[in-house]
Structure 1
Amino acid sequence: METGRHKATTRETAGFTLFLIAITVAMIWSVWAFSGAILWAMVLAVVFSPFKERIQRKMPGREGTATAITLLTIVCGVVFPVGILIDMLIQEGAGLISRLQSNSTDLPGLFDRTVRALPDWAQSWLHQYGWDNLTNLSDRLAANIQTLAQAVGARALSIGADLFAYLGSLLVALYLIYVLLRHGATVVERAGAVVPLAPHRRAVLAHNFVSVVRATVKGTVVVAVAQGAAGGVVMWLLGVPNALLWAVVMTFSAMLPAVGTGLVWVPVSIYLLATGHVWQGIVMALMGAFVIGTIDNVLRPILVGRETQMPDALVLLVTLGGLSAFGFNGLIIGPVIASLFLAAWEMVRQEQEEGIPVPAHIE
């Protein structure tokens, strides 16, 4: 004899809701140590999924092989180069700090020549705020060099101690990339089925998430790496000390709208002029303005459609805010949050214009 389906009471529904919230929070807390690995696994899976699909079309029925080839491409094209770059960057930074500690660089003299190379209005502005006092500035710098060296040394020891944690996160990320590339459609379908949103809203938000992730990686990270690489090559050819270090700094500055690579190549040009390398300083300024600075205008329209871009002012705000709140992961999280925010309120606007009542509670 069949019995009717049990109708949950209000108390039972409230109890299950509290349990669902608690167990979800506990689950998030238990995997939070790998939050960065999970985020970048999702990002790389989203970015490389079209590449995997193209391989799979050429190899019908061999999805596992196509996924393995894609994962190997990610390891060889992303993971290894980033690891090598980090190692080189640490060595460059250590060398720079060592030279500063040994006083092999005439910092006061260099600063004096740099100030004299500036326009009169800039020199007056520095004098007004007392920033042209070489003695005070050099004393402050000397006092902080030792502290900086100790901090870098402590950080190096911390990195060594946390090596296994980093390797563990890397292995988790690689495994998740494989799973998402192989079973991503199933994961998205099953996750979407339990999200308490209308299907059309889920579709819009999912589309925005994928679009902004790809736009951020291709239109921000790839372009910034190209600009940093170009700047590094130019500085290396011109004999600028620690060219690799400044190339990495230029890469990060290129990710910030309204700031850009000028944050690096302008001071480098002034440095070269101040140290008597006139033609090198002029070349650096010309290359920065007409080559490095225009890479963004050339590559971004090719890599990213204009329809996926947000206003530069908003991108700058959410990128800086994301970096401040979430560290390096905020480079992705900030734009994603902004995109979903705009998409959600755009749906509200459209529904109001169409006369569809907006529910006061989550569907």
Structure 2
Amino acid sequence: MTRKYEPDEELERHIASRLLDVLIRAGLVLALVMLCYRVFSPFLTLMVWAVILAVTLYPLQQKMARKMGGKQGWAATLLVLLSLLLLFGPTVLLLSSLGDSVQETVTAVQTLSVKIPVPNPSIAAWPIIGKKIYAAWVLAYNDLPAFVKSMQPKVVDLTKVLLGVVAGIGGGLLQLLASFIIAGIIMAFGQAGAKSSLAIFRRIVGAERGDEFAKLSTSTIRAVAQGVIGIAFIQAIIVGLCLIIASVPWPGVLTVIVLVLGIAQVPALIVTLPAIIYIWSSHGDYSNVEAIGYTVLLLVAGMADNVLKPLMLGRGVEAPMPVILLGALGGMATAGILGMFIGAVLLVLGYRIFMGWVAANPHSEAASAEDHAET
């Protein structure tokens, strides 16, 4: 005779009560996390960039602190001031040049004072788009007001974009300055911060993998910041200053192009060689001595990465260049110039952590051992 099952109502009520308690607590925690993110989100980019700067400069700050008798705060302050003196001044000059170039272009379009060169008939032979480009160019050359009128909606949109770029330059400079200041504060309390980050990693991935992931994150940030972005940034500043000295048009725009090319590991000679051609062409009013001097400057600036890489690259970055390029361009599209640095570092960091997790799969190691034993 089968025994009839009788549900334990007391047990069910206890389980339901515990489940409801867990759900309420989880909901409260989720609400707290969302509120904290909403409060912190305006400063997220600033803080991430400050952490990147702090991690990158921390070894140098520790060396300075040892020479100053262990004064962490004074060492961090001095390092921030030196960094701003060496980087912030040229950056302000180049971004100001970029803003002036954009403003001049907007003014020239609005006042119809743009000088259109004679179109080359060979352009019409280009496949697919050649005839359209040649026709538009001929119209702009013969009747610029009519061309501008036909393109007015696009010109208005382009003007708004360019003016937005100019307006964002000041905000970017202030954000860069604030990032360096916050990075100095983080470095001053770097030892406590290192212990806290290690504890966070141990809590997230476990005590065994926490140390490994913390070291991996730190080394990745320093490798990318110093070996890729740092070299590209320094070379872009050098090339930009040389372009300003040589009075080449649009030095700010060309500097941004050099920066993007440097992050993508493309030689800066792609920009400096056309600048040299401009100097020696009839468009530039240079004497032979000036042209030779500026040519040497631009050639040296274009090949500066060959000297900087052995000094700063170290062991290199264990990540494909497309990952770095996508991170840089995606970050720039979402957060401007600072986003270019943040995007590249974060994407490479995520790639390194993910590939390290994949490589540490115990099942794949066991399978490899079995395959090796069979052979």
Which amino acid letter does the alignment assign opposite residue 354 of structure 2? A
* Counterpart Cα distance in 1 of 2:27 and 2:193: 25
* Counterpart Cα distance in 2 of 1:289 and 1:62: 42
Note the 1:193-342 alignment, pairs <5 A.
Answer: 193-194=199-200, 195-236=203-244, 239-242=247-250, 244-257=251-264, 259=266, 261=268, 264-265=271-272, 268=275, 291-328=300-337, 329-342=339-352
8 A Cα contact 2:101 2:252, kept in partner: yes
Residue number in structure 1 paired with 2:361: 351
Residue number in structure 1 paired with 2:43: 34
Q: Gaps (5+ residues) in structure 1?
A: 1-7, 357-363
8 A Cα contact 1:254 1:261, kept in partner: yes
Residue number in structure 2 paired with 1:361: none
Which amino acid letter does the alignment assign opposite residue 189 of structure 2? H
8 A Cα contact 2:263 2:325, kept in partner: yes
The 1:181–1:33 alpha-carbon spacing in structure 2 relative to 1, beyond 3 Å, is: same
Residue number in structure 1 paired with 2:75: 66
Q: Secondary structure at the match of 2:248?
A: coil
Q: Gaps (5+ residues) in structure 2?
A: 1-16, 142-146, 368-375
Q: Tell me how many residue pairs correspond in the alignment.
A: 335
* Counterpart Cα distance in 1 of 2:168 and 2:129: 43
Which amino acid letter does the alignment assign opposite residue 187 of structure 1? G
* Counterpart Cα distance in 2 of 1:273 and 1:125: 28
Percent of aligned pairs sharing the same letter: 19
* Counterpart Cα distance in 1 of 2:318 and 2:239: 25
The 1:234–1:127 alpha-carbon spacing in structure 2 relative to 1, beyond 3 Å, is: farther
Residues 242-272 of structure 1: CA distance to partner in whole angstroms, max 9, x if unpaired? 3x22442333332442655366446556766
8 A Cα contact 2:328 2:344, kept in partner: yes
Q: Secondary structure at the match of 2:204?
A: coil
Tell me, yes or no, if structure 1 residue 135 matches structure 2 residue 118. Answer: no
Note the 1:64-143 alignment, pairs <5 A.
Answer: 64-109=73-118, 112=119, 115=120, 124-125=125-126, 129-130=130-131, 131-133=133-135, 134-136=137-139, 139=147, 143=152
Tell me, yes or no, if structure 1 residue 186 matches structure 2 residue 157. Answer: no
| TM-score for both structures, normalised by structure 1 | 0.72
Which amino acid letter does the alignment assign opposite residue 126 of structure 2? W
